[in-house]
Amino acid sequence: MKPVDTFASLDELDSESRYLVHKAKEASAHAYAPYSKFMVGAALILDDGTVMTGANQENAAYPLCMCAERVALYAASALHPAQKIQKMAVVAHKKNHKELVPASCCGACRQVLLEYEHRQHRPIEIVMLVSEGQWIKCPSAEALLPHGFSKENLTE
Ligand code: THU
């Protein structure tokens, strides 16, 4: 399995990853997060170069809150089902603050990433800030969620 690459700053990342981080930042402005005030943006790039973005959407009924990553993934799957996903970047900041804070994909989003990765038979790279000054480029959803649940578990 490819290693998880770490970077001390955004400038060290490749230009496509930096572009996706930029698009994820733009998307985070559309977060609807009146409860947590934690603004998350995700941007992913498809094989044909299309970039899809998502931002977290909260609800007064808290369990209905939806992460930015899944908003982007579901939109990509619904609108461009034939296009494979190459890479996704995720960023977060507190409401009314510009500087990025660490946001690591939650377990539910890892599970959804894994489903699409299996479906397209090709890894999806994930770029995110996991701690202060530490970006990672994870080579696949499988690396983010080893031994995840999949359709294989459902076969008799
Ligand atoms: N959130 C995301 O959008 N993505 C993550 O990876 C972690 C958490 C959102 C969900 C909720 O709206 C807010 O951040 C606080 O948990």
Active site residues: 69
For atom 3 of ligand 1, the residue with the nearest CA is: 67
Does residue 84 contact residue 116 with C-beta atoms inside 8 Å?
A: no
Q: Is the CB of 105 under 6 A from ligand 1?
A: yes
- Helices marked H in 1-156: 15-28, 68-79, 107-120, 141-144
5-146 CATH fold: Cytidine Deaminase; domain 2 (3.40.140)
Rounded CA separation 98/128 (Å): 16
Output b/e per residue, 119-147; b: 16+ Cβ within 10 A: ebeebbbbbbbeeeeebbbbbbbbbbbee
CA of 41 to the centre of ligand 1 (A): 9
> Which pTM value belongs to this model?
0.96
1-5, 25-29, 101-105: the lowest-pLDDT one: 1-5
Every domain of the chain and the residues it spans: 5-146
28, 35, 36, 145, best to mutate for ligand 1 pocket (most atoms within 8 Å of CB): 36
Taking only the tens place, the pLDDT of each residue in 105-148 is 999 999 999 999 999 999 999 999 999 989 999 999 999 999 99
- Look at residue 16 in the predicted model and tell me its pLDDT: 98
Distance 132 CA to ligand 1 centre (A): 17
